């Protein structure tokens, strides 16, 4: 009976008058757009301006549009409403068990893959570089996830903390440490500066936190955005301190005091192996992997502590938090500070990897990309963020390699120029089909009998 | 009144709350006694929720004093305290007219959040907690046990691991009360706890509130429109109309007070003589419900 009901509308046949009317309308709109845009092209020759008509192209495009539209009419829009919409969603539990079964294995598998990556790719530089690049963004996104995903505070200036961490390392290792302790300290500078960079960034997090505590939503977003820009402008303009737009050359990290160089006293010499630059990249790769894992485990532990639950409660309902005696001011400040601290660590690492810092690396688009990773991954979900970082940063890199399309593109266009376009399109598609990101379910932090994931529909996004 | 010689747990003295030109509460004075259920009733817009917001610190009263006394003699002036400090130190817990649960967190997590300050201290302000101290783990276990005992009392133990937003309305109301009780309050303020409940659920709520009152060192202040709840469990009723107190006393006194009847039925001045008749009718109606 139900099968018959579903099949019935399909056999009803097509309403041809309506379809033809629609196609004519489509053709009209398409021509209105294409005649001025496609039909004529002005070309400047050596002597004059020549108008070239391109009516053939216009009709090819029009044909494509109409064919697509017709196909949509015949195969897509004609379909009967799917029965899923009619009857709620009783298929929930079965799906949940599948996800639950795979869930616990995803993260260990990812870590195992990450640890083995240099070996899998036979110590090639390219995949290791890409790994460093993606892991840096994974770590940044995990840090921002504390602020945006857990505490529900929209921060558009996260890159400021990244900058604080990077400049902390650059200035301490090149200027202040040699001045205070002599040059002998420089090989160790990375290890000493790493915690300092985190602390400084956390301080900046608190400094940013204070004025914005009373703000919510759009206002909060704008002030954090402004804060990110202020830091960058200060870095550009405070020439005597930061060396302005010229940036600062920073020393490379060492393997606990052993520099990665050829000859005696170097890393290779100490271990009695052939010198190879790849060791340095592998070292950097494992350092960022450790830092990222630290971020992951600390955040995970914090979620299970009262402070983490307070963050999530704050995201759910601030007024209820206050009625339960939670000091929301302090709770927000700790979220800002701890999120910023991981940003500072990542910044310190970034400086040593680049070997050079300049304000150019800390533009707004970086904040936007990190936020995009958090949103795409699913607010609050750490595993989702890994996949989102791989998808976004991986696709950025992929566009660099897409020389295949070079032949089909107009003269002088580089596929790299399309990467933001593609990422934008991907975000639009995601918002259409998976508006809550890759991983929407929230894992509870404590349970009595069984850990049941909370559906994303119930979890709030916070007040901004 | 038997309660008159006791020290009140809460005394609201000459409290006035103005929003611009509007006086929501004017010169209100009343008291709530230890281990009693005090009801605050009145027609819509009488200023009941405003009084609640003043007591719990969400509003600062324009004038007046609100004092809270613990059984051990500590006294707090609530009009001078921040809302979260009122909950933390003065131990006043509240629920909301439109339920405010953490809907994306599980039932158990909701109750754990309510024990935030205690656990925060046990986790050494997170530092000992992050290092995995045994002291914190024991404190967390104790906190979970407290949650369990409250979940049993509100009959939600089977749904402990479900998201709070998934619970039916009546369960959400009970969970909000349990969450407030997990802060171990001395004064529990309930803003329309029976709103939207069916008669059976209201009856259950009555039992729960009586049990809470008799088993804990807590006084209850409630706003309610459901007269079966108000008359059934209140020891003391304060009636507000247009921000002013029009009646104060035990249920029998309030039931027959002509001022209350006038406020609820809106009797004209000229028809004063009919008051007595109306009073009788209302008294009967209220009596039936109770």
CATH of residue B59: 3.40.50.300
Q: How wide is the angle at C-alpha B125 spanned by C-alphas B123 and B131, nearest 5°?
A: 55
Three-state DSSP state, B21: coil
**Residues B107 and B125 both lie in one domain:** yes
Residues B144 and B198 in one domain: no
User: What residues of chain A have any CB closer than 8 angstroms to a CB in chain B?
Assistant: 298, 301-302, 305-307, 309-310, 312-313, 315-317, 319-328, 334, 442, 444-452, 454-455, 458-460
CB contact set of B162 (below 8 Å; sequence gap of 6+): A452, B106, B107
Question: Number of folded domains in chain B?
Answer: 2
- In this complex, the residue of A326, A452, A455 whose CB is nearest that of residue B116 is A326
Q: Do A316 and B102 touch (CB under 8 A)?
A: yes
Tell whether B93 lies on the interface with A, counting CB pairs under 8 A: yes
The radius of gyration of chain A's CA atoms, rounded to the nearest angstrom, is 27
* Distance between CA atoms of residues B178 and B154, nearest Å: 7
How far is the C-alpha of A391 from the C-alpha of A154, rounded, in Å?
22
The interface residues of chain B toward chain A in range 26-55, judged by CB-CB distance below 8 A, are none
Tokens at residue A463, please?
């007040």
Q: Within the 180-239 window of chain B, which residues sit less than 8 Å (CB to CB) from chain A?
A: 180, 183
What the block records as the tokens of B130 is: 């992050």
The answer on B108 and B226 residing in a single domain is no
For chain B, how long is the longest CA-to-CA vector?
76
What's the pLDDT score for residue B95? 92
Whether residue B112 is found in the same domain as residue B240 = no
What's the rounded Cα separation, in Å, for the pair B25 and B46? 8
Task: Tally Cβ neighbours within 10 Å of residue A46.
Answer: 4
Clarify whether residues B172 and B195 are in a common domain.
Answer: no
Kindly state whether residues B74 and B198 are assigned to the same domain: yes
CA gap B65, B84 in Å, rounded: 18
Extract the residue ranges of chain A whose pLDDT is less than 50. Answer: 1-11, 85-94
Return the DSSP state at A207.
H
How many whole angstroms separate alpha carbon A262 and alpha carbon A269? 7
Q: What is the structure's pLDDT at A83?
A: 52
Is the domain of B194 the same as that of B143?
no
Find the CB nearest B114 among A322, A324, A455.
Answer: A324
User: Do B1 and B72 fall into the same domain?
Assistant: yes
B194-221 burial, b if ≥16 CB within 10 A, otherwise e? bbebeeebbebbbebbeebbeeeebbbb
Are B133 and B144 found together in one domain?
Answer: yes
Tell if the pTM clears 0.90, that is, is over it. Answer: no
Does residue B227 share a domain with residue B143? no
* pLDDT of amino acid A338: 94
Q: Is B129 part of the contact surface with chain A (CB cutoff 8 Å)?
A: yes
Domain residue limits at B235 = 1-91+185-251
Distance CA B110, CA B101 (A): 7
C-alpha R_g of chain B: 20
Tens place of pLDDT per residue across chain B (290 aa) = 444 557 888 888 888 888 888 888 888 888 888 888 898 888 888 888 888 899 888 888 888 889 888 888 888 888 888 888 888 888 899 999 888 999 889 999 999 999 998 888 888 787 877 887 788 888 889 999 999 999 998 888 888 888 998 889 889 999 999 999 999 898 999 998 888 888 888 888 888 988 888 888 889 999 988 777 888 888 888 888 888 888 888 888 888 888 888 877 766 555 555 566 666 666 666 665 54
Q: Does B100 touch chain A if contact means CB atoms closer than 8 Å?
A: yes
Residue of B105, B108, B131, B175 to mutate, interface with A, max A Cβ within 10 Å: B105
> Are residue B4 and residue B77 in the same domain, yes or no?
yes
**Mean pLDDT value across chain A:** 82
> Is residue A259 a contact partner of residue A107, using CB atoms and an 8 Å limit?
no
Asked if residue B256 is part of any domain, the answer here is no
Residue B271 lies in a domain: no
Q: What digits encode the pLDDT tens for the residues A368-420?
A: 889 988 988 888 788 889 988 888 888 877 777 666 666 666 666 666 677 77
Domain assignment of residue B47, yes or no: yes
Q: Which residues of chain A neighbour B181 with C-beta distances below 8 Å?
A: none
CA neighbor of B47 nearest in space, from B20, B24, B18, B79: B24
B124 and B166, same domain (yes or no): yes
Contact yes or no for B119 and A459 at CB 8 A? no
Contact B174, B110 (CB under 8 A): no
The domain ranges of chain A are 2-86, 103-433
For residue B136, the chain A residues in CB contact (below 8 A) are 305
Is residue B149 a contact partner of residue B140, using CB atoms and an 8 Å limit?
no
């Amino acid at each position: 009976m139900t099968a018959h009901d579903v099949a019935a509308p399909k056999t009803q046949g097509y309403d041809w008058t309506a379809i033809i009317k629609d196609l004519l309308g489509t053709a009209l709109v398409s021509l209105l757009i294409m005649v001025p845009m496609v039909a004529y092209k002005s070309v400047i020759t050596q002597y004059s301006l020549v108008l070239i008509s391109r009516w053939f192209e216009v009709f090819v495009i029009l044909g494509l549009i109409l064919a697509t539209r017709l196909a949509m009419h015949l195969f897509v829009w004609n379909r009967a409403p799917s029965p899923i919409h009619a009857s709620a969603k009783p298929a929930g539990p079965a799906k949940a068990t599948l996800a639950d079964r795979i869930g616990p294995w995803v993260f260990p598998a990812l870590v195992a893959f990450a640890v083995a990556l240099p070996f899998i790719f036979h110590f090639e530089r390219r995949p290791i570089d890409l790994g460093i690049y993606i892991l840096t963004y994974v770590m940044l996104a995990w840090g921002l996830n504390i602020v945006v995903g857990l505490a529900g505070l929209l921060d558009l200036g996260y890159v400021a903390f990244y900058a604080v961490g990077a400049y902390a390392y650059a200035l301490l290792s090149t200027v202040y440490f040699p001045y205070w302790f002599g040059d002998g300290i420089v090989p160790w500078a990375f290890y000493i500066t790493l915690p300092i960079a985190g602390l400084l960034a956390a301080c900046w997090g608190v400094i940013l936190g204070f004025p914005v505590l009373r703000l919510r939503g759009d206002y909060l977003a704008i002030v954090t955005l402004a804060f990110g820009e202020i830091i960058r402008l200060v870095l550009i303009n405070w020439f005597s301190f930061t060396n302005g737009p010229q940036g600062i050359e920073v020393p490379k990290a060492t393997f606990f005091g052993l520099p990665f160089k050829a000859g005696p006293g170097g890393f290779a010499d100490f271990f009695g192996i052939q010198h190879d630059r790849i060791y340095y990249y592998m070292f950097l790769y494992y350092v960022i992997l450790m830092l990222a894992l630290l971020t992951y485990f600390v955040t995970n532990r914090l979620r299970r502590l009262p402070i983490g639950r307070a963050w999530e409660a704050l995201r759910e309902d601030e007024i209820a938090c206050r009625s339960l005696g939670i000091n929301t001011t302090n709770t927000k400040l700790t979220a800002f500070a701890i999120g910023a601290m991981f940003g500072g660590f990542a910044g310190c690492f970034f400086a040593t990897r680049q070997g050079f810092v300049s304000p150019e690396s800390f533009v707004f688009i970086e904040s936007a990309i990190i936020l995009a990773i958090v949103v795409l991954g699913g607010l609050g979900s750490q595993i989702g963020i890994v996949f989102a970082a791989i998808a976004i940063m991986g696709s950025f890199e992929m566009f660099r390699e897409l020389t295949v399309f070079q032949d089909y593109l107009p003269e002088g266009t580089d596929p790299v120029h399309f990467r933001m376009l593609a990422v934008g399109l991907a975000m639009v598609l995601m918002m259409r089909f998976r508006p809550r990101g890759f991983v929407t379910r929230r894992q509870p932090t404590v349970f009595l009998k069984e850990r049941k994931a909370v559906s994303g529909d119930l979890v709030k996004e916070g007040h901004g | 009144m038997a309660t008159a010689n006791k020290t009140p747990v809460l005394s609201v003295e000459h409290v006035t709350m103005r929003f611009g030109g509007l006086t929501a509460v004017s010169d209100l004075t009343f008291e709530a006694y230890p281990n009693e259920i005090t009801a605050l009733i009145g027609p819509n817009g009488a200023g009941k929720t405003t009084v609640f917001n003043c007591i719990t610190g969400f509003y600062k009263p324009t004038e007046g004093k609100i004092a809270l006394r613990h059984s051990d003699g500590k006294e707090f002036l609530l009009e001078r305290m921040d809302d979260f400090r009122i909950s933390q130190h003065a131990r006043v817990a509240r629920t909301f007219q439109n339920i405010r649960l953490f809907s994306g967190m599980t039932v158990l997590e909701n109750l754990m959040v309510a024990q935030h300050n205690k656990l925060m201290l046990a986790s050494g302000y997170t530092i000992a907690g992050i290092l995995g101290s045994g002291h914190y783990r024991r404190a967390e276990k104790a906190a979970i046990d407290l949650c369990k005992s409250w979940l049993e009392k509100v009959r939600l133990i089977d749904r402990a691991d479900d998201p709070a937003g998934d619970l039916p309305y009546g369960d959400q109301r009970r969970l909000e009360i349990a969450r407030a009780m997990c802060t171990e309050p001395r004064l529990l303020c309930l803003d329309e706890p029976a709103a939207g409940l069916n008669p059976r659920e209201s009856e259950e709520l009555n039992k729960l509130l009586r049990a809470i009152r008799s088993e804990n060192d807590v006084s209850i202040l409630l706003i309610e429109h459901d007269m079966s709840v108000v008359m059934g469990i209140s020891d003391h009723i304060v009636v507000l109309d247009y921000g002013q107190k029009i009646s104060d006393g035990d249920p029998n006194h309030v039931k027959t007070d002509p001022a209350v009847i006038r406020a609820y039925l809106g009797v004209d001045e000229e028809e004063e003589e009919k008051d007595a008749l109306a009073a009788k009718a209302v008294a009967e109606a209220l009596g039936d419900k109770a």
